[in-house]
């Protein structure tokens, strides 16, 4: 087609090229907020179980293996593992928000 509705080549203009290669400061802030929310849920469940006098091995394992948001390296906060990538890490902004939440909540329990 010609004119304003001309078809474009995927290499010169598709969505693939519109994803920036680094996260903005606001994207990083939102990611840190999500990680802190996960930490808050784990702490809340842990304190509720301690009030009842019980505990879950999954919560204890999470606390032993998973670092809190302030203990994490930036590499771990803002990238995820991807075996297809050259250096095996991929920025979180190239995945959907739902995927990031599922990865945050899955943790060592799979």
Query: In the 8-state DSSP scheme, what is residue 89?
Result: E
Distance CA 43, CA 41 (A): 5
Q: Read off the pLDDT of residues 45-74 as tens digits, 9 standing for 90 and up.
A: 999 999 999 989 999 999 999 999 999 999
C-alpha separations of 65 from 69, 73, 106 in Å: 13, 14, 13
pLDDT at 107: 59
Distance CA 107, CA 104 (A): 6
C-alpha separations of 101 from 25, 51, 63 in Å: 19, 28, 18
Check pLDDT > 70 for residue 28: yes
Distance CA 109, CA 30 (A): 24
Which tokens go with 39? 């930490």
Helix (H, G, I), strand (E, B) or coil at 81: strand
Residue reference for tokens 């808050």: 40
* pLDDT grade for 80, boundaries at 50, 70 and 90: confident
Query: Average per-residue pLDDT in the chain?
Result: 81
pLDDT at 106: 62
């Amino acid at each position: 087609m010609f004119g304003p509705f001309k078809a474009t080549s995927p290499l010169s203009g598709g969505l693939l090229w519109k994803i920036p290669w680094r996260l903005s400061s606001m994207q990083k802030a939102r990611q840190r907020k999500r990680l802190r929310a996960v930490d808050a849920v784990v702490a809340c469940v842990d304190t509720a179980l301690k009030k009842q006098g019980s505990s879950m091995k999954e919560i204890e394992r999470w606390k032993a293996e998973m670092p809190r948001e302030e203990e994490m390296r930036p590499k771990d906060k803002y990238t995820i593992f991807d075996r297809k990538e050259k250096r095996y890490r991929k920025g979180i902004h190239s995945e959907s928000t739902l995927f990031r939440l599922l990865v945050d909540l899955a943790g060592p329990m799979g």
